[in-house]
């Protein structure tokens, strides 16, 4: 997997720098091309000779020598991935706020490949809200954070701040590389937001979906190389780059937009909250009359169930937003709508619900398996969903080849 990949390893100044020698050595054994960048502080903890010997390339540390000005852009252009380990509070702060004052921080700004951060520092520093907010900011921008472990720290205290095991950093690096362009050649249709069903010219029945989860799936799918169509209803979010957007308002409009795109799709992810019923539309504004108003509702089309009936090669992913009996209700929907995967979440929890940046979901599969995930950003959930989708696509392909 790592053979011939160009991996940039950024080392900042912490006692855990010595462990990164092992990381570099293991990358070399896997035949990656490695370039190590060290900050001045890092050189207080481990020598550049160790790193250049293990990586097979000179250590980069000086912006203003021959290796500097042009080289940081060259490096950024050829890098397949970057690992910053240990990531100190200082480099985390610089990366979060765009400060570029040495070789490492300048190179990070030029990078477009996945960047993996493995923080390591004293527990009081790590838990400081400045560091936590900087990490959250970086995570929202797509940096991958490998959380430090809890345990005995070099300064004699105990708590979170120990560099994650090298094994784990390697695993995260491997996953990030695998995700690059693994949806190339695939058409992915995503729905997002919440439909609105008009009652009269000024009122509608709607729901609280913000569209964040669907937008995250669309963004990540495009980054992974897919052709993405995003059918979105009543959202106020910036459109992700490289995505074809189709705005709709009602369930009926969403149905027509989805059906139009469906036949040549490989994957459909239906994250939208679609109204199940709509009122009869009044041509004129409803007037206050008496102290009661009865609205009669009629069912809308269940878009996903229709796709389930029509599907041929497509991988269908549904969402189950539940407030009770999460697993039983979600399982029911897998069968009824003929899905390959359902993403179930508890929308009664305010910390992970509609407008939140985070989510905590359980994946359920048609064979009865279920897979609970921890709380993470919606973008991280999107990556996990697409990992499962790629796996299902590959399985379908190998079954077809066997037949």
Binding positions for ligand CTP, rule: CB under 6 A: 251, 270, 272, 274, 276, 300, 302-304, 318-321, 333
- Smaller CB separation from ligand CTP, 259 or 286: 259
113 carries an active-site annotation: no
- Smaller CB separation from ligand CTP, 13 or 193: 193
- Smaller CB separation from ligand CTP, 200 or 322: 322
Contact predicate 82/111, CB 8 Å = yes
The residues facing 297 across adjacent strands are 279
Least separation in angstroms between residue 321's CB and ligand CTP is: 5
SS3 156: coil
- Smaller CB separation from ligand CTP, 87 or 274: 274
Name the DSSP class of 231: E
How far is it, in rounded angstroms, from Cα 213 to Cα 343? 11
Least separation in angstroms between residue 272's CB and ligand CTP is: 5
- Smaller CB separation from ligand CTP, 291 or 296: 296
**Nearest in space to 50 (alpha carbons), one of 15, 25, 79:** 25
Which of 109, 154, 155, 328 is labelled catalytic?
155
Q: How far is CA 310 from CA 27, 187, 306, 313, 339, in A?
A: 46, 17, 6, 10, 12
Query: Residues 201, 202, 204, 206: is their CA dihedral positive or negative?
Result: positive
How far is it, in rounded angstroms, from Cα 357 to Cα 46? 39
Least separation in angstroms between residue 249's CB and ligand CTP is: 14
Which segments within 167-266 are labelled E, that is strand? 187-193, 197-200, 203-205, 227-233, 243-248
Least separation in angstroms between residue 282's CB and ligand CTP is: 22
Strands 370-372 and 197-200: unpaired
How far is it, in rounded angstroms, from Cα 339 to Cα 317? 6
Catalytic residues: 155
């Amino acid at each position: 997997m790592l053979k011939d990949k160009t991996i940039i390893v950024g080392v900042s100044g912490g006692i855990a720098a010595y462990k990164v020698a092992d990381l570099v050595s293991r990358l070399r054994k896997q035949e990656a091309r490695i370039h190590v960048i060290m900050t001045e502080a890092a050189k207080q903890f481990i020598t550049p000779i160790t790193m250049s010997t293990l990586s097979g390339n000179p250590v980069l540390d000086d912006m203003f020598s021959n290796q500097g000005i042009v080289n940081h852009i060259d490096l950024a252009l050829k890098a397949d991935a970057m690992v910053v380990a240990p990531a100190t509070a200082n480099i985390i702060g610089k990366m979060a706020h765009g400060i570029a004052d040495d070789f490492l921080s300048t190179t990070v700004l030029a990078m477009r490949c996945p960047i993996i951060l493995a923080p390591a520092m004293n527990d009081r520093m790590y838990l400081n809200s400045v560091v936590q907010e900087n990490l959250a900011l970086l995570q929202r921008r797509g940096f991958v954070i490998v959380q430090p472990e809890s345990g005995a720290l070099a300064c004699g205290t105990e708590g979170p701040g120990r560099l994650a095991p090298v094994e784990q950093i390697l695993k995260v690096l491997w996953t990030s590389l695998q995700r690059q362009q693994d949806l190339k050649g695939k058409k992915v249709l995503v729905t997002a937001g919440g439909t609105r069903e008009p009652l009269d010219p000024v009122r509608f029945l709607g729901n609280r979906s913000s569209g964040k989860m669907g937008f995250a799936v669309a963004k990540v799918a495009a980054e992974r190389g897919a052709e993405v169509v995003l059918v979105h209803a009543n959202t106020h979010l910036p459109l992700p780059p490289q995505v074809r957007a189709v705005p709709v308002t009602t369930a009926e409009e969403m149905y027509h937009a989805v059906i139009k795109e469906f036949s040549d799709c490989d994957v459909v992810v239906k994250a939208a909250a679609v109204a199940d019923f709509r009122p009869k539309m009044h041509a004129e504004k409803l007037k206050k009359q008496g102290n009661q108003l009865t609205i009669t509702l009629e069912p809308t089309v269940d878009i996903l169930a229709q796709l389930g009936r029509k599907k041929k090669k497509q991988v269908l992913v549904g969402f189950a937003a539940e407030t009770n009996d999460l697993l039983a209700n979600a399982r029911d929907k897998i069968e009824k709508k003929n899905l390959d995967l359902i993403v179930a979440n508890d929308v009664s929890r305010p910390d992970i619900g509609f407008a939140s940046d985070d989510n905590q979901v359980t994946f359920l599969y048609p064979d009865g398996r279920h897979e609970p995930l921890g709380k993470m950003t919606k973008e991280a959930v999107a990556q996990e969903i697409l990992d499962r989708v790629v796996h299902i696509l590959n399985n379908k392909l190998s079954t077809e080849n066997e037949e």
